[in-house]
Amino acid sequence: MQEAINAGQQPRRIYATEKFLNERELKPFYDQTTEISPDVAKHLAETETPQGIFAVLPLEEDKLSEPLSGQYLLLDAIQDPGNVGTLVRTADAAGVKTVVFGGGTADPFNPKVLRAMQGSQFHVKIVSTPLPRLVENLKKAGIPVYGSELNDAAKPYREVAPSDQFALIVGNEGNGMSQDLLAATDQNLYIPIKGARNL
């Protein structure tokens, strides 16, 4: 919840177990806070060991800013909520400011996705939009679009000059990127793995 407050989000309602009612960050929201039992907390969190504080926040989804500019991570049918959250956190850590949830990707408001993002959703712009149209618009704006398909034409990511303007597509866990998106990329990149075998 602290991440939401730091990002300027104002909770509409807060629910907390007795153990957490006296937490410092809840003091300004005394009138909006309701005590709940540990059993209710477990039900809300859908986990065995819930944190004990729950906030109801405005349901807002960002839109892409025009003109298109900056760095984008595009998620192509990433289905596992944990994977989605990890990718959003990685984008946050890398300084990528926009993560786009394409078709077939887990819902950004899915409770498991929200938990896996661990607050990074308050640091990056989360947008849901069809990727084929977005890729076309990114290319029209002069922003290179990179894929992550490991094939004979793929290059190690270090061979591409760093830039503050790019989009990177990450494909489905089992099937990789869609062929239409793959055909639209400017280049495919991979991360070499140093170990028993070199890729």
End-to-end CA distance of the chain: 41
* pLDDT in the model for residue 170: 97
Average pLDDT over residues 114-139: 94
- For residue 184, give every residue at least 6 positions away whose Cβ sits within 8 Å of its Cβ, in sequence order, or none: 132, 135, 136, 139, 145
Tell me: pLDDT of 147 over 60: yes
Better-predicted residue by pLDDT, 66 or 9: 66
* pLDDT in the model for residue 168: 97
Q: Please give the model's pTM, rounded to 2 decimal places.
A: 0.81
* pLDDT in the model for residue 171: 95
Cα distance between residue 174 and residue 144, in whole Å: 25
Structure tokens at 67: 């003109």
Phi first, then psi: what are they for 63, rounded to 5°? Answer: -115, 155
Query: Is 125 strand, coil or helix?
Result: strand
Domains of the chain, first to last: 2-56 (no CATH), 71-190 (3.40.1280.10)
Model confidence pLDDT, tens digit, residues 40-77 = 988 887 777 777 888 888 766 678 989 999 999 999 99
- Name which of 30-34, 52-56, 115-119 the model is least confident about: 52-56
> Mean pLDDT in the chain?
90
- For residue 136, give every residue at least 6 positions away whose Cβ sits within 8 Å of its Cβ, in sequence order, or none: 184
